[in-house]
Amino acid sequence: MSTAKIAITIEEETLGKLDRLVSAKVFPNRSKAIQEAIKEKLSRVNRSRLARECAKLDPAVEKAIAEEGFSREIEEWPEY
């Protein structure tokens, strides 16, 4: 995967915490730590979005759709 170089502004206290993690070898460098933090945040945002979208679904309608599909399939099953 290709990468791009960017410049960011970060609070000094946060940078100090980041540097301590790098010094403790939790991350190999600042860039890797920031990359992982961004990936984790994006993943959380996506999961949160999925949860919000799922909450909009009507369970009764979803059940009816699932049962309708199942009833069609069961008619195609061979008798044993």
DSSP 48-74: HHHHHHHHTS-HHHHHHHHHHHHHHHH
Looking at residue 37, what is its pLDDT? 96
pLDDT, tens only, 19-53: 999 999 999 999 999 999 999 999 988 888 888 88
Q: How much is the pLDDT for 62?
A: 81
pLDDT at 9 over 70: yes
54-64 pLDDT, tens digit each: 888 888 888 88
Q: What is the pLDDT of residue 46?
A: 86
Q: Which pair of tokens denotes residue 53?
A: 């979208």
